[in-house]
Structure 1
Amino acid sequence: MSTTPHPTAQAGDIAVRSIQIMADGERSDFDALIHPEARNLEDVVGPPGGRTRGPAAFYATAQWLRTAFEGLSYEIHHVVADGNLVAVNSTMKGRHVAPFVTYAVDGSVDTVFPPTGRTFAATQSHWFRIEDGLVVEHWANRDDLGQAKELGWVPPTPAYLFRMARAKSHAKKNSRAKKM
């Protein structure tokens, strides 16, 4: 009997670890798991730094999430691998402690959700393509509406809408200041 892990099992382990480092990984962990040309197909509302390719983009996305959500963690429920394609069913958990900024296609600030202090547990399915022991592609299906309801973003109260407008104005000012 061989002691070498099956390539499909290795792909599953790589996919799971690449999810876990979003919550707790150092930049070197991303360099070790993410291909230099890897693409995160979920980068449509994330920070401009997360819209490029490779470990730096994935790390920028992790920093974005960690800034807004204290205690960020992922509970892994199921992992299914077929060759180099891996699906991971998980629950992302955390507490909303800082503004969560989403960005428009051009990289400008789109929406800002001021911190609510609430916790959430949102189900997600992540899909990965693994090549030569590295993540080369990621996409996901998430329960964003469920998460928004748990965090009190939906339906927004008039007071929360006011806080959102103030937070967006502040984030836009900070964004312009960083570009100068």
Structure 2
Amino acid sequence: MSAGPTDDKATCIRSMEIMSTGTLEDFAEVYTADALDREADEYPPLRGPEGLHRSAERLRGAFSDMRWEVHEAVQDGALVVLHTTMTGHQTGTLTAYGPDGAVSAVFPSRGRSFSATQTHWFRMEGGKIAEHWANRDDMTMGRELGWLPPTPGYIVKMVLARRQAQREAKA
């Protein structure tokens, strides 16, 4: 039996909630075994609940009090769209990876908070999420966190943190 539109929207809203505090078991309840997160940049790429949970852990390590406020939830067939605002406080380092898995950028914490709008797109399959995309306002987030425009001192911190992350990746 397939889930109805209301259930699908609730599943997608739940997926945003568990990004902040959910366990691997929580992720398995809302994502298919081979779910694809088109926004993840972790390496090696993992699909399914494990990959989504790893993305959540990476974000949790960088942002405390991370959460999403859902403003709108709409569905058309197998597609669910959420309009959200993500908020949090950067208390850890955020590392980004390129398509080859190499460290591409590192953003050390400046201890600031942020609030940025996002739109999340989900393709549903059998009542679970099979695919995820997002449109994020990363420029606002970067400005609020003090990443943009980078000061000379922050650029030095970014370069040193990137070198450290690259050394750790090789170890």
Q: Please, what TM-score do these two structures have when normalized by structure 2?
A: 0.96
Partner of 1:80: 74
Q: Is 1:63 matched with 2:57? A: yes
For 2:124 and 2:11, the matched residues in 1 are separated by 8
Partner of 1:48: 43
- Structure 2 gap segments, 5+ residues each: none
Superposed CA RMSD: 1.1
- The 3-state SS of whatever aligns with 1:48 is coil
Partner of 1:136: 130
For 1:61 and 1:16, the matched residues in 2 are separated by 17
Instruction: Work out the number of aligned pairs and report it.
Output: 169
After superposition, residues 17-56 of structure 1 pair within 5 angstroms as 17-43=14-40, 46-49=41-44, 51-56=45-50
For 1:105 and 1:139, the matched residues in 2 are separated by 16
67, 89, 92: which one aligns with 2:86 = 92
98, 107, 110: which one aligns with 1:104 = 98
Contact 1:7 1:83 in 2 (8 A): no
- Offset at residue 108 of structure 1 (A): 1.1
Greater Cα radius of gyration, structure 1 or 2: 1
- Structure 1 gap segments, 5+ residues each: 1-5
Q: Deviations over 1:72-103 (max 9, x none)?
A: 11111110112221000001111111111000
- The 3-state SS of whatever aligns with 2:60 is helix
Partner of 1:3: none
> Which residue type is aligned with residue 37 of structure 2?
N
Partner of 2:155: 161
> Which residue type is aligned with residue 62 of structure 1?
A
